[in-house]
Amino acid sequence: MGAGPVPIPQAVAQANGMIINHLGPTMDRVIKNVKQMAAYAFQTRSDKVLGLAGPASAAMEMAVANLCWPGRRVLCLSNGTFSGRLGEMAQGVGAEVTMLEASPGKPISLAQVRDAFARAGRYDVVTMAHGETSCGVKTVDLPEICKFAKEQGALTIVDTVVTLTAMPVSMDEWGIDVGLTGGQKALSSIPGVSLIAFSADAWRTVEKHPTPFPHWCYDALRAQRFWGEQQYHYTAPVPGVLALHEALRLVAEETLEKRFRRHEMSSLALQAGLEAMGLSLYAPPEIRLNSVIAVRLPDNVDSARVREYMTKAFRVEISGAFGLNIVRIGQMGEQCRSHNLFKTLYALGMSFAREGAKLDVASGMAALESGLAGDREEFVD
Ligand SMILES: Cc1ncc(COP(=O)(O)O)c(C=O)c1O
């Protein structure tokens, strides 16, 4: 029940146990389906939707390496580990990078982006994370920031690792130029096979990248040979692609609308339970990310010790943090099922109480129960 990798459905695990010819007719059909279903997930009509072997960071690297190079000006909206990583990657490929740092626990706002453009005059690329996993904060102005960037002639790279299929992401409507995600978070597939989608504007820039391209695997034009023309690029991670196919099929079967609702109801009920128990959440509701809930550690509760106890006594794992005094609970995919919610909240309450935190576990459980009431059907797998 941590911030990922998240548990996967049985059907995804089964698909991940198969090998087929990576260049045969069955694989061609699988790839076509993955592209179509991924386009649905990203809400895009673009056909430049590619999968790649590698974690979400590899998809970030592909996005950055294809749009940024020496002489290109990049604005990185940084409010934590992952949004900041995009800027570090852009520096790595020699772009001129401005890091726009948020105040702690806050997302970057449209007003801050406008100011940054006013100061600099021009940026070619703006990077951001829709959901910043390290602190459980979402970039609420994201659609407006993407629209503004487009008006200014800049391309946007958006990390949707913890948001795609957990909450609305509308690539075409919002004007996102590159959307990317890993398999192991909201999609509920395996780590190691990721997805990336390019808009027509972004693809024109990909085609203008100076040659020779510094990477083989992350070269979008070479990758398009496999994902667009069924030609060899490198040996595809076949079981991982099959797992991704199954995960996306389950998303399509559930429909985005119902999946968003399940995620939202589940997370809000869990948040209500945590608060009713006496715990405090790190992000205020208006910027809170539902898919990763950051919970402040009460005084004297040691993160590593309490999590170790939870795992041993209750077999429930949650995540620690990168420097902040919080623990993080995942609300992605299978984590948003009622049996997981009750088990997690009880395990957390009892473990924190054992460390000396003054909590009302019963009230927390009751608040979770009433938060889910009326929608039980949606939470039972
Ligand atoms: C928002 C976000 N982006 C990128 C990543 C990087 O993912 P990976 O570790 O799969 O490379 C993570 C991982 O936690 C993440 O939460």
pLDDT in tens, 214-262: 999 999 999 999 999 999 999 999 999 999 999 999 999 999 999 999 9
89 Cβ inside 6 Å of ligand 1: no
> Which residue bears the tokens 């959307």?
179
Give the pLDDT score at 375. 62
pTM confidence score: 0.97
Q: Under a CB-based contact definition with an 8 Å cutoff, are residues 250 and 89 in contact?
A: no
Res. 354: pLDDT tops 90: yes
Task: Tell me, using a 6 A CB cutoff, whether residue 346 lines ligand 1.
Answer: no
Q: What is the mean pLDDT of the chain?
A: 97
Q: For 123-129, what is the mean pLDDT?
A: 98
Confidence grade of residue 91 (pLDDT, cut at 50, 70, 90): very high
* pLDDT of 374 strictly over 70: no
pLDDT surpassing 80 at residue 378: no
Quickly list DSSP for 204-222. Answer: HHHHH--SS-S-STT-HHH
- For residue 317 the two structure tokens come to 């794992």
**pLDDT tens, residue by residue, 165-178:** 999 999 999 999 99
What is the CA(355)–ligand 1 centre distance, in A? 30
Kindly state if the Cβ of 5 falls inside 6 Å of ligand 1: no
Read off the pLDDT of each residue in 59-72 and give the average, rounded to a whole number: 98
Residue 67 near residue 155 (C-beta atoms within 8 A): yes
Ligand 1 centroid to residue 276 C-alpha, Å: 30
- Ligand 1 pocket, residue 182 CB under 6 Å: yes
Average pLDDT score over residue span 141-158: 98
Q: Is the pLDDT of residue 379 over 70?
A: no
pLDDT for residue 377 is more than 70? no
Q: Is the CB of 63 under 6 A from ligand 1?
A: no
Best of 6, 57, 329 to mutate for ligand 1, by most ligand atoms within 8 A of CB? Answer: 57
> What share of the chain in percent tops pLDDT 70?
98
Q: What pLDDT is attached to residue 5?
A: 97
Structure-derived torsion over alpha carbons of residues 32, 33, 35, 38, reported in degrees to the nearest 10:
180
Go through 249-266 and write b for each residue having 16 or more CB atoms within 10 A of its CB, e for each that does not. Answer: bbbbeeebeebbebbbbb
Would you list the DSSP string of 95-146? -EEEEEEPPTT-PPPHHHHHHHHHHHS--SEEEEESEETTTTEE-TTHHHHH
Rounded Cα distance between 110 and 114, Å, is 6
pLDDT at 257: 98
Q: What is the C-alpha separation between 121 and 141, in angstroms, rounded?
A: 21
List, in order, residues 6 or more apart from 212 with CB less than 8 Å away.
Answer: none
Using a 6 Å cutoff on CB, does residue 82 contact ligand 1? Answer: yes
Greatest distance between any 2 Cα atoms in the chain? 63
In this structure, the strands spanning 193-198 and 178-181 are: antiparallel
- Give the C-alpha separation, 313 to 330, whole Å: 19
Q: Could you tell me which residues are beta bridge partners of residue 51? A: 195
Counting residues of the chain whose pLDDT is more than 90, the rounded percentage is 97
The best mutation among 6, 77, 82, 158 to test binding of ligand 1, ranked by most ligand atoms within 8 Å of the C-beta, falls on 82
For residue range 67-86, list pLDDT tens digits in order: 999 999 999 999 999 999 99
Do 281 and 293 form a contact (C-beta atoms < 8 A)?
Answer: yes
Q: What is the token pair recorded at 150? A: 């487009």
SS3 73: strand
Spell 19-37 as b/e; 16+ CB within 10 A means b: eeebeeeebeebbeebbeb
**162 close to ligand 1 (CB < 6 Angstrom):** yes
Give the model's confidence band at 381: pLDDT under 50 very low, under 70 low, under 90 confident, else very high. Answer: low
In this prediction, residue 246 carries a pLDDT of 98
* 159 SS3 class: strand
* Helices within the chain (DSSP H only): 10-15, 25-42, 56-67, 81-92, 110-120, 142-151, 171-174, 200-208, 220-229, 238-254, 256-277, 303-309, 338-354, 361-372, 376-379
